[in-house]
Structure 1
């Protein structure tokens, strides 16, 4: 809170721009100052209780100032950021770059060392103009793990993508510019790698895990 004899509009604006939350011009009116202080104390207590609630439920919340610096983060957010990006101090620039990207784009994700990824979702601006981000971790499903372990080739992945969309061997052959016999050969390898015996079983494995159908010229 600024208490000063400077009362020009430019000076008041500069005070708030410097981080002030209130501006009182001398001569001071004690009852007015006490009322202002009481309001700020109450707001600070409400903010503290809100932060404690976030800590208790283990939410990953980060507040980022307009320079991209972390103004506040919940303990859970600090743990996730340290795991995905490096510890605070040594990885400050990495934190700033990634969180700023999430604010600019609306969301962003980084891989976690143990698998899965850390996702950041921009929620909007908080009371003092900081950007608020919610963090969460997303782990691979058993299906995604199975697909990754199958180590399909790019061509096999394309064939499987179209198979999951209900295309016949002839359709896939026309789309990818190969013979139906070649498609059938790819499917034999796919079934073997996935440990299945039928088209329906292969499609069921990937129905909720495939990326968008690859573009075809």
Structure 2
């Protein structure tokens, strides 16, 4: 097993050998798990606290982590949150090891990003089986993400709490262009991406760089949301304006469509524009006919592409 004081002492692992980081302040547990993991064909890194574990991540990103929940200093829950908040590390599956059987501690482990937990005293066959499943699933997901990277697509995955769980290099570049890299930039980008979950798509004006469009592609099996980013060239704005003129919406119809695209109901639009809901409905009938659509969602999608965004 790799020394706990020298994370670079071991030779580089073969590309086909998964690397597992074991984090526990009990040396006996580190030794027991290390022996079991090596017997299963894993390369093992070890750390006796969270600070040491972060150093291991800086040297080599593992394929999975077995993490003690209760440790001196930074505990396992805070360490997990740190890993999940770092885009280049957030894909790594973390399995908690805990002697705590209280449900609130178990729920806390899942809430901070853990994929599973095992209760001490450890049953090694169960630990190996659970770990193998999570490492395999994470590798499959990572291969898919790398394929997206190679294709140069701007893709972002939001977790169930709306945080950026993963983003492709192209998405990172575009979000940096739109929101910068300073303090608060990630939060602003996350809020903008979150707004795309409740509508077909949303855009952000980048001036001479064009417009960044975010389109919600649907929910994943674990409740994660995938968003596809597209950088539209500057001339697309003028093309949209020309198409809007070709559709020949009246100024009032354009106002109604704009509020529809913002998710307002007919009654909301009526209150905002000072007209009756019935009049709003008649305007929408004309709008649907001119756009060649039959539903509000379809009209809202077209409006998102053609109308200026606030």
- TM-score band, normalised by the shorter chain? 0.5 to 0.7
The yes-or-no answer on 1:83 pairing with 2:170 is no
**2:248 corresponds to which residue?**
161
**1:124 corresponds to which residue?**
218
Stretches of structure 1 lacking an aligned partner (at least 5 in a row): 149-156, 163-210, 213-217
- C-alpha separation in 1, matches of 2:213 and 2:159: 19
Q: Compute the displacement of 1:88 (Å).
A: 5.9
Are residues 8 and 92 of structure 1, via their aligned partners in 2, closer, same or farther at CA, if it must alter by over 3 Å? closer
Conserved 8 A contact 1:84-1:113 = no
Rg larger in 1 or in 2? Answer: 1
Stretches of structure 2 lacking an aligned partner (at least 5 in a row): 1-94, 250-305
Conserved 8 A contact 1:5-1:26 = yes
- Which residue, out of 147, 162, 166, partners 1:53? 147
- C-alpha separation in 1, matches of 2:103 and 2:240: 61
Describe the SS at the equivalent of 1:121: strand
Q: Compute the displacement of 1:128 (Å).
A: 4.5
Deviations 1:96-153 (CA, angstroms, capped at 9, x unpaired): 22111112334211123335421111123335433221111233359728959xxxxx
Q: Which has the higher contact order (CA 8 A, sep 6+)?
A: 1
Are residues 93 and 14 of structure 1, via their aligned partners in 2, closer, same or farther at CA, if it must alter by over 3 Å? closer
1:116-155 equivalences under 5 Å are 116-139=210-233, 140=235, 144=239, 147=242
- Which residue, out of 101, 109, 118, partners 1:15? 109
Describe the SS at the equivalent of 2:100: coil
The count of corresponding residues between Structure 1 and Structure 2 is 156
The yes-or-no answer on 1:97 pairing with 2:191 is yes
Are residues 137 and 15 of structure 1, via their aligned partners in 2, closer, same or farther at CA, if it must alter by over 3 Å? same
